[in-house]
Amino acid sequence: MINFSAINEKDKKEMLDSISKSCIEELFSQIPEKARLGSLNLPEALNEMQTQKYIKSLAKKNNSDYTYFIGAGTYNKFIPAAISQIAERFEFLTAYTPYQPEISQGTLQVMYEFQTMICRLTGMDVSNASVYDGATAAAEAVIMAKRISKKNKVLISDTINPEYIKVIQTYAWANDIELEMFDKIPENTQEYAGILIQNPNFYGEIKEINKIEDCLLIVITDISSLALLKPPSEYGADIVVGDIQPLGIPMSFGGPHAGFMACKEKFMRQLPGRLAGRTLDAEGNQAFTLTIQTREQHIKREKATSNICSNQALIALCATVYLSLLGEKGFKQASYLSSKNAHELAKKLQDKGIKVLSKDFYNEFLIEVEYADKLLDKLKANNIIGGYKIDEKTVLVCTTEMNTQEEIELYANLV
């Protein structure tokens, strides 16, 4: 690193002359004065002990003791304490890219188990080892549909998460894909590469989906809802995507997210991201390795099905441990409580005269209020994050297994 304080005026002049500048200020001439930071006005340096005490005093100002009734893509779920302990084990501390399976067996096995769990929940044949988040998974599925069908028009439901739609639009623009929004699936879909829906949708509603014959059906789903609802494979899904944040991942800073993608076997070579496979070594022992895709998928952009060559291995690991710890019974119980709490709260609000706009829903529902901001501010003053504002009169309310009867009663009484 250069020690600029040690550079004398002669050195400065030589450096400026080499880039045809007369003074250092010229380097910043294109930046407006109002956008320049100026003096940082930093306090005197502290030693380590003083710094620790100062940081702790700042941390005490944070108010994290809220009750959450907000979802909209990021959910307050119970997280077993064992997850972080298991995820920190040395077997999972491996190279970023597990090309050498002989030294990456822990990571590769988790990838394989994660894929297996996603396939069991969605009913699909093949899953990848995760991608960046649910939004990019949905966007990659749209590109995948174009690649499979050789068509460049895709139908997009207008009840998809708005953040997902923005990401999909960006990907579609870069890949010459024409998007059409719809509120009802048209009868003739032959001209389209695929139809993208969310079920349960962004507003929490569960829709009855008929099988699509003329194009690919891409389904975005809340993975936790599949403990109770029938898997997308049963209503004809070709590609299923979503986010794994509800699987024991904290909401920190809006939620560390990771996406999953699963599809029918005949499309697996078009599936972006990594896929781990299980085999036997020369001695007949179980062994794991990256499979299906060649290394060109990762190093030669022109031959890759996607520029996503990585995966969210750590978050996928935590999700796998979460499902393993809860088991089928515990996972169903958590999902059941999430839904039960939502329906109980909705009924209490209806009894108070609040209009509930959602009919068939999982654990999120819409309510109509006189002033959304006023309601949410009132709830926050009582340490309740009361929901996601859709517009001035509409709020999306969510419950999970973390909401107690006392919290539900308090929410209903305050509204």
Which is nearest to 364 in space by CA: 198, 184, 196, 197? Answer: 198
Q: Say what the pTM is.
A: 0.85
Q: At what angle do helices 372-381 and 405-414 cross, to 10 degrees?
A: 130
What stretches in the chain show pLDDT beneath 50? 1
pLDDT at 177: 97
- Cα separations (Å) of 306 from 2, 124, 303? 39, 21, 9
CATH of 67-76+327-414, one of 3.40.50.920, 3.40.50.2300, 3.30.420.590, 3.90.1150.10: 3.90.1150.10
Q: Which CATH class is domain 82-320?
A: alpha beta
Specify whether the CB–CB gap between 338 and 332 falls below 8 A: no
pLDDT at 1: 44
Spatial separation of the C-alpha atoms in residues 410 and 365, rounded to whole Å: 18
Segment 77-98, tens digit of pLDDT: 999 999 999 988 877 765 556 6
- Cα separations (Å) of 247 from 234, 312, 363? 22, 13, 15
Spatial separation of the C-alpha atoms in residues 333 and 329, rounded to whole Å: 6
- Work out the burial of residue 147: count CB atoms within 10 Å of its CB; fewer than 13 is exposed, 13-18 middle, 19 or more buried: middle
Spatial separation of the C-alpha atoms in residues 397 and 402, rounded to whole Å: 14
pLDDT at 88: 85
The domain spans of the chain are 67-76+327-414, 82-320
- Work out the burial of residue 294: count CB atoms within 10 Å of its CB; fewer than 13 is exposed, 13-18 middle, 19 or more buried: exposed
DSSP 8-state class, residue 305: S
pLDDT at 313: 85
